[in-house]
Structure 1
Amino acid sequence: MKTLLIDPRVGGIAGDMLVAALVDLTGSTEPLFTLAGAIAALPGCSTFDVSVTETENGIRAKRLSIEIAEERSGSDGDLAAAMEEVIGAVGLSSRAAATARAVLTDLIEAEKRLHPAGFSRHTVASADTIFDILGPLLLMEEAGLLGCPVYATPPALGGGTVPTGRGEVGGPAPAALEICAMHRIPIAESALAMELTTPTGAALLANLAIVRDRFPAMVPTRIGYGAGTRENNGRPNLLRIVEGEVGDLVEERIVILETNLDDITGETVGYTFERLFAAGAVDVFVTPAIGKKQRPVQVLSVITDHARYPDLIRILMDETGTLGVRVREEPRLVADRSREAVEVAVAGQTFRVRVKTSCTGGRVVAVKPEYEDMKEIALTLGIPFRQVAGEVHRQIPAVRNE
């Protein structure tokens, strides 16, 4: 399976650096000129020209240059609307468009937190932000890299001082650090007194990649380097990306919540299960254990994703009265999964059942119909659940082979 590794451990990451590295990796530039033309057509943007050059200062790399003349938009809503117009003009896929919106949302939320009076005075409210977000997605989509596993090493954020609207603050860039905190991204130490990771770079990394401390086990096939516009002692900061091949199991990040429960009724635990699943928990389970003073306890565990875990912690505390919840983020390897709704006939009637298919190595390893759909059929027809499940399982292979 094809994979992509983004390596900002030393040089950090910015939108233009990622674009330049992808150009170096793929050799493609045409999507960038299409994107630049769509941005130049926006109201208030009179000029938007992009060029790619090659630089060599220790390592050969591509560097991006942008010439822009614009009237700044007045709000984040204006910027979001402008990006939607460009997305439509360049024909970005729905998957890539959703990623672009998530990146922009992270930028807006970080800036609003840091600048409550309005972030439009800051650099995020600019047409080149649209380019920095959409440029990497267009290049990755064209190269077939957007749907594959994407990994990253912890980014170097940099140091020194960073200008703000009311003076300078110590590095790293506050918005970049804010985004790393929002997504619990580990960061790399850097002694360089310069900004290495920009807010846009951090948001791209957060929404594109699984960040891990080391390179994944992979067979590298090609490598690209992108140079930033800032230099340290005459040397530009560099971003390295690696395309390679990995096994066909997909790695994803999950959040595990745990709390110890004692002196609690089974009814309370059962009701808590229902609320957790309704709020989006992937799985909930209880493990019996022995706690302090040799008292029997139950370890209540919840598997969820990064976006939902704060809400689930509140449910745990509200329903169980626990005073603390352990939180840890872990990778897991899973088979490639797809979901579709199929029609099945049960007792002379036709129903739609959602089916999850898991594949590895190009072969189907599991086909699982949705329990809730089969339960609804059983209740509707007034027949045993196992009869419904048997009928559905008998018909699924036939449906898939049509």
Structure 2
Amino acid sequence: MRALLIDPRTGGISGDMLAAALADLTGSAEPLERLGAAIAALPGCAEFSVRLEEADGGVRARRLAFKVREKPAGSDGDLAAALAQVAASVGLSAWGRERAERVLGDLLAAERRLHPTGFSRHAVASADTIFDILAPLLLIEEAGLAGCQVHATPPALGGGLIPTGGGTVGGPAPAALEICAAHRIPVAESSLSMELTTPTGAALLANLAVVADRFPAMTPIRTGYGAGTRPNGAGANILRVVECETSDLVEERIVLLETNLDDISGEVVAHALGRLLEEGAIDVFVTPAIGKKNRPVQVISVITDRERYARLLTVLMEETGTLGVRVREEPRLVADRRRETVEVVVGGRTFPVRVKTSRACGRVIAVKPEYEDMRQIARERGITLREVAREVERCLPAPGGGGDQE
């Protein structure tokens, strides 16, 4: 399936860099010119034009050059209304409008947290912000990539001194770091003393891509390179994008908790597993092993997500008394899974049964009814679980069908 890779781990990312890279990828600047004309038509904008030009930063890339004259930015509502007006004017789809609103929401939330008495115009200025948000989304749509999987590597944030509306602070840019923290985006180190990832760039990544520390398994189709507008003397202020073909497996980020136990009863382990599942663990399992001094140990492994891992770590330590837990985050590829409720007839009565359908490689690979629902039917009808399972399977599509099955 088609996908897009965004690679900001060396040069960082901003809205204009991503737009330049996508324009280089597609070979078309027309959407940018159309967007610039729509922004120039705003009542508060006296002039807005954009030009795509060549940039030499160690590799051939494209850079955007702007001419902007506007009145001072208004309220948050004015900015949101102008964003919506321009998005409608250029024909951005519901997919693009929804993401544009979320990106702007992240920018404003970060600024309000960092500047409680009023947001900083340095970070949120109307015409620039509208262009930086909408241009990448418009180009993604024009390339036919809207709705496709978007992968990204961890962005390099940069360092040095960063000017803000309240003065100069040490890098990385506080609002960019705030957005990465809010979305738990992993970041990359950089020795460059300059801002590499802007708040808008961080917000675009947060609302478009799954960020992982490696490239997905892919077949590259075409590439694009976008340069930042400020030279850094190192030629590294370059953002790379890749249109590619990937598997239709879904990439997720999981957190794995593990601990070794050598002095605990089976009853305590069983209770701990139950508590972990009750608290929302995706899966919990126990592996027998041999530990130090050749003693038998039990390794408890807990699969969870970023939101729940801190709570589950506490439960694991409280219930087992372990002195340490290994924590690591890693990606996993899973089949696309859909859950629905179907009506099945067992013994002349109709029952609702939840069913999970899994798809991969363009076809259905598994159709699994919910065990608890079948067990309840077996109890109510006074028959065996195997009999219920046979009746339920007759009502379900067989695995191996085409990808358009529902």
Provide TM-score, normalisation by structure 2: 0.78
Determine the structure 1 residue equivalent to 2:388: 388
Structure 1: distance between partners of 2:70 and 2:21: 25
Give CA-to-partner distance per residue, 1:62-105, whole Å, 9 cap, x none: 42637363554556x887788788878866446x6665566556
Matched, 1:221 2:221: yes
Determine the structure 1 residue equivalent to 2:50: 51
Structure 2: distance between partners of 1:35 and 1:271: 59
Determine the structure 1 residue equivalent to 2:186: 185
Determine the structure 2 residue equivalent to 1:310: 310
Give CA-to-partner distance per residue, 1:334-381, whole Å, 9 cap, x none: 333344443333333334434333333323222222334434544555
Q: In 2 relative to 1, CA 153–287 (structure 1 residues): closer, same or farther, beyond 3 Å? A: same
Determine the structure 2 residue equivalent to 1:370: 370
| Alpha-carbon contact 1:74-1:120 (below 8 Å) kept | no
Determine the structure 2 residue equivalent to 1:342: 342
Specify the code of the residue in structure 1 equivalent to 2:64.
R
| Alpha-carbon contact 1:54-1:62 (below 8 Å) kept | yes
| Alpha-carbon contact 1:24-1:62 (below 8 Å) kept | no
| Alpha-carbon contact 1:17-1:228 (below 8 Å) kept | yes
Q: Equivalences for 1:109-188 in 2 at 5 Å? A: 110-111=110-111, 115=114, 117-118=116-117, 120-121=119-120, 123-127=122-126, 128-129=128-129, 131-180=131-180, 183=184, 185-188=186-189
Structure 1: distance between partners of 2:84 and 2:377: 41
Matched, 1:25 2:25: yes
Specify the code of the residue in structure 2 equivalent to 1:386.
R
| Alpha-carbon contact 1:7-1:241 (below 8 Å) kept | yes
* Distance apart, 1:263 and its partner CA: 4.5
Structure 1: distance between partners of 2:46 and 2:274: 56
Determine the structure 2 residue equivalent to 1:357: 357
* Distance apart, 1:312 and its partner CA: 2.3
Specify the code of the residue in structure 1 equivalent to 2:3.
T
| Alpha-carbon contact 1:156-1:190 (below 8 Å) kept | no
Give CA-to-partner distance per residue, 1:187-227, whole Å, 9 cap, x none: 04333x32111122123334433444554443322122223
Structure 1: distance between partners of 2:120 and 2:331: 39
| Alpha-carbon contact 2:36-2:50 (below 8 Å) kept | no
Structure 2: distance between partners of 1:377 and 1:169: 64
* Distance apart, 1:286 and its partner CA: 1.5
Q: In 2 relative to 1, CA 134–338 (structure 1 residues): closer, same or farther, beyond 3 Å? A: farther
DSSP 3-state at the match of 2:196: coil
Give CA-to-partner distance per residue, 1:283-319, whole Å, 9 cap, x none: 1111223444555433221112223322322333344
DSSP 3-state at the match of 2:302: strand
Structure 1: distance between partners of 2:376 and 2:210: 37
* Distance apart, 1:265 and its partner CA: 4.8
Q: In 2 relative to 1, CA 267–188 (structure 1 residues): closer, same or farther, beyond 3 Å? A: same
Q: In 2 relative to 1, CA 126–377 (structure 1 residues): closer, same or farther, beyond 3 Å? A: farther
* Distance apart, 1:120 and its partner CA: 1.3
Give CA-to-partner distance per residue, 1:270-290, whole Å, 9 cap, x none: 444344334432211112234
Structure 2: distance between partners of 1:226 and 1:344: 55
Specify the code of the residue in structure 2 equivalent to 1:329.
E
Provide TM-score, normalisation by structure 1: 0.79
DSSP 3-state at the match of 2:396: helix
Structure 1: distance between partners of 2:215 and 2:72: 42
Q: In 2 relative to 1, CA 19–83 (structure 1 residues): closer, same or farther, beyond 3 Å? A: same
DSSP 3-state at the match of 1:220: strand
Determine the structure 2 residue equivalent to 1:61: 62
DSSP 3-state at the match of 1:176: helix
Give CA-to-partner distance per residue, 1:241-291, whole Å, 9 cap, x none: 111223444433221111234554545444443443344322111122344
| Alpha-carbon contact 1:20-1:64 (below 8 Å) kept | no
| Alpha-carbon contact 1:154-1:212 (below 8 Å) kept | yes
Matched length? 397
Matched, 1:208 2:208: yes
Determine the structure 2 residue equivalent to 1:297: 297
* Distance apart, 1:137 and its partner CA: 3.4
Q: In 2 relative to 1, CA 163–221 (structure 1 residues): closer, same or farther, beyond 3 Å? A: same
Give CA-to-partner distance per residue, 1:316-337, whole Å, 9 cap, x none: 3344444432211112233333
Q: In 2 relative to 1, CA 234–387 (structure 1 residues): closer, same or farther, beyond 3 Å? A: closer
Gap regions ≥5 residues in structure 1: none
Percent of aligned pairs with the same amino acid = 61
Determine the structure 2 residue equivalent to 1:285: 285
Structure 2: distance between partners of 1:78 and 1:312: 43
**Which moves more between the two structures, 44-53 or 359-368?**
44-53
Structure 2: distance between partners of 1:83 and 1:313: 42
| Alpha-carbon contact 1:106-1:179 (below 8 Å) kept | yes
RMSD: 4.0
Gap regions ≥5 residues in structure 2: none
